[in-house]
Amino acid sequence: MHEIIHLSFSAHANHATSHFYNAQESYFSYTSKSHIDPYVSFRQGKAADQKTDTFTPRAILWDMKNGRGGLPKAADLYAEQYSQDHNVWQGDAQVIAQPKMPVSPYRAALDAGTESADQLSIGNTKYWTDYSRVFWHPRSLFELENWYIDPIKYPNGRHRGYTESTSAPSFAAYEFGAAEYDAASKADPALEDTFRKYLEECELVAGVTTITETDTAWGAFSSLAIAEIRDNYLPKTPLCTFGIESPYAAKLTRQSLHTRTKSLIDLFSLSTIYIPLTIPSKQAVDAALNTHSYCADSWWHSGALFSTVFETATISARLRDSNKYVSLHDLADQLNTGSKRSVCGSLSASFGHTSALSLGQSSNDRKNMIPQKQSRRRNHSTHELSSMNIDRYSDGVPVDEEALHVQARFSDVSSLPDFMHIETMKLALAATTDTAYLLNDLLQILPMLQWHDHDERSELATKIADMRDEYDYEMTDSDYDSEP
C-alpha cells in the first residue's frame, strides 16, 4: 500500500477537501472495483465499540471556531468515546454553551438515505460540512482557538476577543498565523498527536498533499506546519502543495503582499511541487464547461473545481493497477527534471472540446502584483521549462498520445454542483519562466513592506534571488530591469 496523508488549511481549502473525499468515498464499490484505490486516502479503524469497522479520511483539517457548521467533532461512531460530557468534576456546575447549529438539509437526508442534488444550493452550502458525505475521525478536525468564522458576515475570520460592535482584524497578517500555530502546537498539537499516529499506521507512506490559502494568515500557519513535518517526520518524502491565491493580485493590501511574499517563499522551498490555484471568472468557467450556473463567489463551486484539479493531478498515485501507478516522486521528477524547481507556473484544464480553463495565476495577474509605476518588468515572453499533461477519461480512446493516460471515471455523487458532472479532462501543468518574473516582482516588493527585522528582509531577498535563478532561461539583468 502506498498511502497519502492529506492536510487542509482554511475553510476554502476544506471545501475542496470535502469534495475530494466525497469522490474518494464513491470509489468504494461492492459490485466492481474502481480503477482508483480509495484505501490510499482512507484509513481503516474501529468505532468506539471496538467492533464496528470504520473508514475515515487519512487527513487533518484546520478551521476556525464555527467552521464545522452543524457537524459535531465526534461523529456518531465516536460520540461516546469523545463525548465532552465525561467530566471528572462531580459537583454542581453551570454550563454555558452556544446553541448548536442545525444539520444541513442534505446531510439530514443523507443520514436517512434520501439525499439528492436538488437539496443543495449556493445558499445552503456555506460550510464545507453541509455536503460532506464521509465520517470524519475526531482526531482529524482541529480549530483555531482565538478565531471564528461566519461565511456570510466574516468569511475571512474574526478574532474572538472583540465584541460585535467593535472593529476587529481579519485573519490576514502573517504574524497572526505564526502566533496561532505556536499557540495551537502547545494546546492541541495536531502533528504530534494525529499526524504521527496516521504516519505510523501507513505501510509505506507515498507522500503528503496539502491545500492552503497563501494570501491570508493561513499561509503562515500552513508553512510552519509543513516545516515541522519536514524537520521531524518526513524530510525527503514528496510533498505536493496546492496554494489558493487571490485572483486579484493588484488589489492586495500591503499586509496581504507581506503575507503572500513570506508564505510563498516558504511553501516553494518546502514543497516538492507547488501548484497555484485561483478562482476563475464566471465567463471563463461558463465557456469551458458549457454552463451558466457557476458562481465565482461560492466556495462550494470553486472548491469543486479545485478538487477535480487536485484529484486529477495526483490520480496516478492512487491507481490500483501497479503497471499504471505513477508515484508523486516520479510526477515531481517530470516537472522539475532534476532541478530545484518546484513551482508550476502554468495550469489549465480542458473538458472535452471546449476552451481550456486557466486555474493557476496567469502571467498577466502575476505581473500586475505591484503597481505599474513601480514595476520595472512588463513585457516578456514565456518559455516552458518542463511540462506534464494528464489525460483522464472514463471510456474510449485518449486524445493526446504524449500525455499520461488515466482511464478512471469521475465521481458522480449528488454533492457536486450540476456543472461538475464531467466525463473527460485534460490537465496541463508546466514549469515556466513566468516564475522567475514572479520572484523578481517579490524582490521589488520587499522594500515597500514594513519589516521589524532588516536582517530577515536581507536573508529573504537572498533566498528569492537564488530561487529565481532556477527559472532563468537565457535571461540577463535587462530582462528584469527593462522599462515597459
Residue 478 included in any domain:
no
Task: Flag the least confident range among 74-88, 376-390, 453-467.
Answer: 74-88
CA 468 to chain centre: 24
Q: How far apart are CA 431 and CA 383, in angstroms?
A: 9
Residue 436: is its pLDDT beyond 80?
A: yes
Half-sphere exposure of 33 (CA within 13 A, CB side): 7
pLDDT classification of 373: cutoffs 50, 70, 90: very low
Q: What angle do CA 180, 181, 186 make, to 5 degrees?
A: 100
Contact partners, residue 288, CB within 8 Å, separation at least 6 = 280, 349, 350, 351, 354, 355, 356, 357
Residue 88: is its pLDDT beyond 60?
A: no
Q: What is the pLDDT, as a whole number, of residue 361? A: 62
Count Cβ neighbours within 10 Å for each residue of 18-42 and write b for 16 or more, e otherwise. Answer: bbbbbbbbbbeeeeeebbbbbbbbb
Domain, as residue range, for 346: 3-80+104-433
Q: What is the pLDDT, as a whole number, of residue 31? A: 56
Q: Give the CATH number, domain containing residue 199.
A: 3.40.50.1440
Q: What is the pLDDT, as a whole number, of residue 58? A: 96
Residue-wise pLDDT for 297-327, tens only, equals 999 999 999 999 999 999 999 999 888 899 9
CA 382 to chain centre: 26
In the block, residue with C-alpha cell 439530514: 108
256 by DSSP, 3-state: which? helix
Among candidates 350, 358, 386, 377, which has minimal Cα distance to 444? 377
Among candidates 178, 390, 410, which has minimal Cα distance to 289? 410
Residue 150: is its pLDDT beyond 90?
A: yes
In the block, residue with C-alpha cell 511540462: 387
What is the largest distance, in Å, between two alpha-carbon atoms of the chain?
76
Residue 77: is its pLDDT beyond 90?
A: no
Residue 99 included in any domain:
no
Higher pLDDT, 374 or 382: 382
Residue 257 included in any domain:
yes
Residue 97 included in any domain:
no
Q: What is the dihedral of CA 393, 395, 401, 403, to 10 degrees?
A: 20
Residue-wise pLDDT for 6-29, tens only, equals 999 999 999 999 999 999 999 887
Number of domains the chain is built from: 1
Residue 379 included in any domain:
yes
Residue 457 included in any domain:
no
Task: Flag the least confident range among 312-321, 335-344, 352-361.
Answer: 352-361
Q: What is the pLDDT, as a whole number, of residue 400? A: 66
The chain-wide mean pLDDT, for the chain, equals 86
Residue 98 included in any domain:
no
Where does residue 159 rank: exposed (0-12), middle (13-18), buried (19+ CB within 10 A)?
Answer: middle
Residue 482: is its pLDDT beyond 50?
A: no
Residue 382 included in any domain:
yes
Q: What is the pLDDT, as a whole number, of residue 479? A: 59
pLDDT classification of 429: cutoffs 50, 70, 90: very high
* CA distances from residue 28 to 131, 140, 308, 326, 452 in whole angstroms, order as listed: 18, 21, 18, 21, 52
- The DSSP secondary-structure symbol of 100 reads P
253 by DSSP, 3-state: which? coil
